[in-house]
């Protein structure tokens, strides 16, 4: 079986390791793929569209008959909107390629439309939730930043982790998205505060404060 893994993060400084590990383990353990035979397509880019080189190469190879299955970690890695998700899945299935979603333990195979309408509906619903979750998270972060900027602490004190200040206003720093990713891993228990502090070159107290008292600034709430 010719299997591909597709992994994506939203910014250039985010880490792909977690997705790479999950898709690799699934392909090897569930599909019996030799590790050296697994094709990996990856993207590090911003935005919610599908104009990504790794994605485009994946689709091209699938439509050329080079792939039998594609493994992704979760629905939101394939696309961040339900319309993109629908287009992607349809193109892959028309090419005879099965789509495996690791986190939901779901498989969409060519020809399954009439056989399992419940699974199809569930997949569409997951796509809607992924899109809605991304929008809510962005909105909550914007509201959290606006609320914090009204306090004396942020008007006169130092900028929080991952931010800088511009005339008293909080501005996302160049490493903001990397900070969010690392803090999210700590909040989920995938990384220790000590490791996070080392990665971010700050004190563990700074990491604790960001997670316990400023979670709305990083989309953790």
Task: Give per-residue pLDDT as tens, 41-95.
Answer: 988 754 444 457 888 899 999 999 999 999 999 877 776 566 677 778 888 888 9
> Which residue of the set 10, 45, 103, 164 is catalytic?
10
Structural domain spans, the chain: 3-130, 149-217
Instruction: Report the distance separating Cα 30 and Cα 73, nearest Å.
Output: 14
pLDDT value of position 16: 77
Over residues 150-171, the mean pLDDT reads: 70
CATH for the stretch 3-130:
3.40.50.1390
Instruction: Report the distance separating Cα 20 and Cα 77, nearest Å.
Output: 12
pLDDT value of position 79: 66
Q: pTM above 0.75?
A: no
pLDDT value of position 48: 46
Q: 44 or 161, which is more confident?
A: 161
Over residues 120-148, the mean pLDDT reads: 62
Q: Is 60 a catalytic residue?
A: no
Over residues 126-144, the mean pLDDT reads: 62
pLDDT at 138 over 70: no
pLDDT value of position 204: 92
């Amino acid at each position: 079986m010719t299997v591909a893994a597709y992994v994506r993060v939203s910014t250039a400084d985010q880490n792909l390791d977690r997705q790479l590990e999950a898709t690799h383990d699934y392909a090897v353990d569930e599909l019996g793929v030799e590790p050296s035979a697994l094709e990996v397509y990856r993207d590090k880019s911003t935005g919610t569209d599908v104009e990504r080189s790794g994605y485009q190469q994946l689709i091209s190879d699938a439509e050329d008959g080079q792939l039998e299955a594609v493994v992704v970690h979760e629905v939101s890695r394939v696309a961040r909107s339900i319309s993109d998700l629908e287009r992607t899945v349809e193109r892959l299935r028309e090419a005879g390629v099965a789509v495996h979603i690791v986190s939901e333990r779901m498989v969409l195979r060519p020809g399954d439309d009439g056989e399992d309408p419940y699974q199809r509906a569930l997949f569409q619903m997951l796509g809607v939730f992924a899109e809605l979750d991304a929008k809510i998270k962005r909105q909550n972060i914007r509201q959290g930043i606006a609320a914090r900027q009204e306090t004396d602490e942020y008007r006169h004190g130092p900028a929080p982790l991952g931010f800088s200040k511009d005339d008293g206003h909080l501005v996302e720093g160049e490493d903001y998205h990397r900070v969010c990713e690392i803090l999210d891993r700590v909040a989920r228990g995938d990384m220790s505060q000590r490791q996070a502090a080392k990665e971010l070159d700050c004190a563990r107290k700074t990491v604790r404060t960001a997670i316990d008292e400023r979670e709305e600034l990083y989309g953790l709430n």
